[in-house]
Structure 1
Amino acid sequence: MRPFKKIAGIAMSLALTAAMILPAGVRAEDTATDAPKIVISVGDEQKTPEFKADETKDLEISLKNQGIADAVKVRIAPVIEDANTWPFVVEDMNYERTVETITAGNEVMVKWEGLAVRPEVESKYYKLPFKITYEDGEGKQFQLDRYVFVKAVAADKPEEKPEEPKPEENGEPEGGEAGFSNSDPVVSGGGGGSESGKDAVPRVIVTGFNTDPGAVNAGSDFKLIIHLKNTSTKTAVSNMLFDLQAPSSGTEAAAEAPAFLPSSGSSSIYLDYIPAGGTQDISIALNARADLVQKPYSIAMTMKYEDSNATQYESSSSLAIPVKQAARFEFSELEIAPEAVAVGEEANITCSLYNTGRIKLYNVKAKFQGDGIEGKDVFVGNVDSGATGSIDGIVTATQEMAPDQKCKMIVSYEDESGKASTVEKEFSLTITPEQAPMDMSQMVDMPAEKGFPVLPVVIGAVVVVAAIVILIIVLKRRKKKKESVEEEDLLDEVDRFTEDE
């Protein structure tokens, strides 16, 4: 009897194990079936809404079902982890919105009414994360994490009226261009007198000037060439001495230094002779100070000369030389949020532009280019010298892109003369394939991994063991029955034998 009990116990254990495995196999097979094709997109073809500080405005977001099955019990709620990253005043305990059904191919608008914009918002794009849950009509629940961007505009600050710059000594030509002026000569002494008449007084004037190179940049050397003419038709002039003096200018720390310094150390020029009615050129090598602002600077030139009777004359002229400042600026590190996006999602790119030069940058604009992105131009405006401009743009991922592929930000600007220039800065953005929605039902019942077919083997083993057990039971019953019959026959024989006696 003991072997029979052991075999029966083993058979019962195997049968129980098979019963436990069989339902699990059925659940795994059910879960492995294809999930309903529901694709929920957020904010498709919507323009980025703009919210101004202290105003109250509605926020509308579109939800579109791009799949082939209906989405039911759709719920969308903002994820507010930090109130400082949320541009609106948090007034309600719950901002969740519910949509009963979004049929396949259709779109619904979800509205948050009367959102009050915080008065201290900055002028930038704010990323608003949302959590979306929905069901497929068969009891399965799905969850999505999506985000949209809104543009906030800070409150206007009162503009400070800049102080009017003090005019340089001798002034500067109107319109900020090059120019010159002349004064009448006066007799300073010497000689035995001159011929009577107006034409007898020789007058030397400046008829113009040019520089080599043509544009004088702050901090550079240049050659100043001055064109002279003796206006007298009868009297020649000689023994001419010219002295050039630039007024003090520049930054406050170096305001006592002249705007232009002679490269040779001397500001005087000597010219031997100009005939009556004749012309001559004089030149001097100068250096423009590096800290000069972009505008014309005047140079006062005094002249001393004599006529044929050794009569000495003095005169003066003034020249205005425009100085150019090269644009100099730097970018901060680009901040990309998030650093990796899926196709169809948006990323926010921000950085600061520091105008480290001495000229104002006009009409500053930025745009983003790359094989897998597209975005609108960002207009920054004018950036004063020493000021900071903010670049805040949105790009949309259009196709998959590897991390080693580079995108670029192109910044364009104009100087005071309207000359346009551009500069580029590269950045990286990882773009992954479009994400499928998360099936929350699969988080509970995970499908079994495919491998060795355990279930059929176990079932086969149970069947074989059960057959063996049944066979043993039948044989034992037959044996027992046979022994019982033999015992009864023996008893009958004994009874008959007893009766015969």
Structure 2
Amino acid sequence: MNGKERIRKWKKRMAGMLVAVLTAVSVLPAGAFAAVQDITITSKEKKVPTYQAGKSQKWTLTVTNRTSGDLENVVLGPQLGDKNDDWPFKTEVQDYQQELGALKDGESVDVTFEFTQREDIKTERYTIQFVASAISKKDGKETLIETSQKLYVYTTAKPEEKKETTKTEEKGTQNVMSGEDALVEAGGYSNGGVSYSGGGGASGDGSVPRVIVTGFTTDPAEVKAGTNFKLTIHLKNTSKTTRVRNMLFDLMAPTEGADEQTASPAFLPASGSSTIYLEGIPANGTADISIQLNAKSDLLQKPYSIELSMKYEDAYAAQIESSSSISIPVKQDARFEFSNFEISPECIEVGEEANVMCSLYNLGRIKLYNVKAVFEGSCIEKEEVFVGNVESGSTAQIDAMLEGKNATEGPARVTMTLSYEDESGNVSKSEQELQLEVTEQMEEEMMPSDMGEESQGGFPVVPVIVVLLIAIAIAAVVIWRKRKQKKQAQGEEEELLNELERSSEDER
């Protein structure tokens, strides 16, 4: 047998011994490796707190001693981070650490922190890292134990200031009475100047009979993009002595659209033309004109102005021209979609949690305010998730942890109710359904703490492993030395034979 074959054979023996050791370790009690010495930090009742901009709120955490020994000088505090983006709260003190004193093995204690969210923080989910440290005393030795845990909080952006609007409704129509020459954003009117091409007025005093807009109504009261509505304009002849006649009115709406090929007026007549004829208005009298209009479907949610031009005659057939403006608010319906639910896991036990996530796509042209998702079902605990404001054309994430409450027979229905507000504070809701299976809680045959005690008290696991490893090392050294000595002896024997052969040859 040459040297290479002996080395190969030795390697096979060593591999066999290692396999034997690993097999022995694998059949040891599971508690030998299950006992983990640690301090756990959890949010009380597993709740994720939601903070509001500029408001203070308390957050209660639970610290538990799971080190299988008593602890002293327990301290808990959050890490503030190095940047403003890491810490969403106002830094009101230099250090938030709290001293908890001593904790016996298995004992828990609640710790409450009070934070105030900064007003410049957006609606997001932040990760806050808490660090706990303590002194462990075992076998007369003091050991510093330190552990950290990342927990989550939701923050809410500061609400935008909403412009107050005033309107009165009567039998489904909007009556905007904003005052003459006052064009308001919520909807109103203004009157322009008068151009007169003739002699004196009907009274011969040189006064010009003026026709003005005193208000308007829309039916329905709320004009929505892409729908038809009836516009009624209220007129008044301000002259106390002169009648006006042969009145011709023309309405012109602003052109909307970025593309020249698709740009068109914001309002178009539903049928016919935009010109209206009125026979006349007596002195100091009033009259109404009406027209059916259609609001363009892609209009943004805001007021749009209509220019009203007037041409009429006085009692002497003199031509008079004037103009007014009308501002009509246009509303857009909210339009959004949800992505498919991501559920992990899809089957949980009573008391366990499943992570449910989906995306909310705001496909409409309006902003959704104070969006909130509420999960309800007979098999889960009620869970609320605050999403915040969602801009038009943007995406928001809905992320919830659902805790199993009652066991089900197969997948059961869970309802997610999404609520949101428009710019006027009106609340709307939408529902989505998902499936989640909840099973009865399985009874554990042996708790990890029990297995740890059995391994420590009944079977000396660690010493056995150490002895086995030392035995393997000693065996390897002995085998290696024996083979080295054998090889050396063979070499000396071969050298002696060679010398004998040379001496016999010399004698010949």
Question: TM-score normalized by structure 1?
Answer: 0.56
1:357 aligns with 2:364: yes
Q: 1:123–1:151: 8 Å Cα contact kept in structure 2?
A: no
Query: Which residue number in structure 2 is paired with residue 177 of structure 1?
Result: 186
**Pairing partner for 1:402 from 370, 393, 409:** 409
Which of 363, 369, 373 is equivalent to 2:380? Answer: 373
Cross-structure match for 1:188: 197
Deviation of the 1:233 alpha carbon: 0.9
Q: 2:220 aligns with which of 213, 219, 223?
A: 213
Q: Distance in 2 between the 1:244 and 1:223 partners? A: 13
For residues 312 and 261 of structure 1, do their structure 2 counterparts lie closer, same or farther at Cα, with a shift above 3 Å needed? same
Instruction: Note the residue ranges of structure 1 that are not aligned, 5 or more in a row.
Output: 1-40, 52-59, 66-70, 74-87, 89-100, 110-121, 127-147, 157-171, 442-501
1:414 aligns with 2:415: no
Pick closer, same or farther for the CA change 1:321–1:123 going to 2, 3 Å: closer
Aligned counterparts, 1:458-497, within 5 A: none
Distance 2:325 2:441 in 1: 70
Aligned to 2:351: 344
Contact persistence 2:187–2:329 (CA under 8 A):
yes
- Give the secondary-structure state (helix, strand or coil) at the position aligned to 1:386: coil
Aligned match of 1:296: 303
Which digits, 9 at most, give the CA deviation of each residue in 1:422-477, with x for residues without a partner? 11111111000012225599xxxxxxxxxxxxxxxxxxxxxxxxxxxxxxxxxxxx
Change (3 A) 1:253 1:293: farther
Going from structure 1 to structure 2, the CA distance change for 1:173 and 1:404 (only over 3 Å counts) comes to farther
- Contact 1:48–1:151 (8 Å) recurs in 2: no
CA positional deviation for 1:309 = 0.7
Secondary structure at the aligned position of 1:429 is classed as strand
- Tell which deviates more after alignment, 252-261 or 327-336: 252-261
Greater length-normalized contact order (CA 8 Å, ≥ 6 residues apart): 1
Structure 2 match to 1:432: 439
**1:256 offset after TM fit, Å?**
3.2
* 1:303-318 to 2 correspondences below 5 Å: 303-318=310-325
Distance 1:370 1:380 in 2: 20
* Cα distance in 1, alignment partners of residues 321 and 151 from structure 2: 71
Which residue does the alignment assign to 2:232?
225
**Equivalent residue for 1:32?**
none
Q: 1:177 to 1:242 in 2, by over 3 A?
A: same
Q: Amino acid of the residue matched to residue 231 of structure 2?
A: L
How far the C-alpha of 1:326 sits from its partner, in A, is: 0.5
**Which residue is 2:503 aligned to?**
none
* 1:346 positional shift: 1.0
Cα distance change on mapping 1:439 and 1:308 into 2, 3 Å: same
User: What is the distance in 2 between the residues matched to 1:175 and 1:46?
Assistant: 51
Any conservation in 2 of the 1:184–1:203 contact (CA below 8 Å)?
no
| Residue identity opposite 1:412 in structure 2 | S
SS at match of 1:277: coil
- Opposite residue 197 of structure 1, the aligned amino acid is D
Tell whether 2:250 aligns with 1:249.
Answer: no
Relative to 1, partners in 2 of residues 1:251 and 1:44: Cα closer, same or farther, differing over 3 Å? same
Residue identity opposite 2:328 in structure 1: I
Alignment of 1:262-277 (within 5 A): 262-277=269-284
Which residue identity does 1:369 align to in structure 2? E
Letter in structure 1 aligned against 2:152: K
Alpha carbons of 1:173 and 1:250: their partners in 2 closer, same or farther (altered >3 Å)? farther
Q: Alignment length, in residue pairs?
A: 318
Evaluate the alpha carbon distance shift between residue 251 and residue 436 of structure 1 in structure 2; reply closer, same or farther with a 3 A threshold.
farther
Residues 1:226 and 1:375: Cα distance change in structure 2 (over 3 Å): same
Aligned pair in 2 of structure 1 residues 375, 64: CA closer, same or farther (>3 Å)? Answer: farther
2:396 to 360, 377, 389: 389
Following TM superposition, by how much is the alpha carbon of 1:407 offset from its aligned partner in structure 2, in angstroms? 1.1
| Structure 1 position 260 matched with structure 2 position 267 | yes
Deviations 1:241-286 (A, max 9, x none): 0000001124556673110011124110000111111111111111
Instruction: Give percent identity, aligned residues only.
Output: 50
Distance 1:207 1:174 in 2: 12
CA distance, structure 1, for counterparts of residue 431 and residue 220 of structure 2: 28
Q: Distance in 1 between matches of 2:402 and 2:368?
A: 25
Aligned with 1:333 (options 326, 335, 340): 340
SS of the residue aligned with 1:187?
strand
**2:185 corresponds to which letter in structure 1?**
G
Displacement of 1:347: 1.3
Q: Does 1:236 align with 2:243?
A: yes
Q: Decide which structure has the larger Cα Rg and report it.
A: 1
Deviation at 1:43, TM superposition (A): 5.4
Contact 2:202/2:242, CA 8 A, preserved across alignment: no
Could you say which residue in structure 2 is the equivalent of 1:197? 205
Matched residue of 1:184: which SS?
strand
Counterpart secondary structure, 1:287:
strand
Selected match of 2:285 from 254, 278, 288? 278
CA distance in 2, matches of 1:409, 1:398: 17
Amino acid at match of 1:180: Y
Equivalence for 1:151: 152
SS of residue matched to 1:416: coil
| Structure 2 spans left out of the alignment, 5+ residues | 1-39, 51-60, 70-85, 87-103, 111-122, 128-148, 158-180, 449-508
Q: CA distance change for structure 1 residues 404 and 430 in 2, over 3 Å: closer, same or farther?
A: closer
Amino acid aligned to 2:372: K
CA distance in 2, matches of 1:44, 1:382: 26
Contact 2:201 2:208 in 1 (8 A): no
Deviation at 1:227, TM superposition (A): 0.7
Q: Supply the RMSD in Å over aligned alpha carbons.
A: 4.0
User: What is the DSSP-based 3-state SS (H/G/I as helix, E as strand, rest coil) of the residue aligned with 1:176?
Assistant: coil
For 2:217 and 2:126, the matched residues in 1 are separated by 50
Counterparts of 1:230 and 1:361, CA distance in 2 = 45
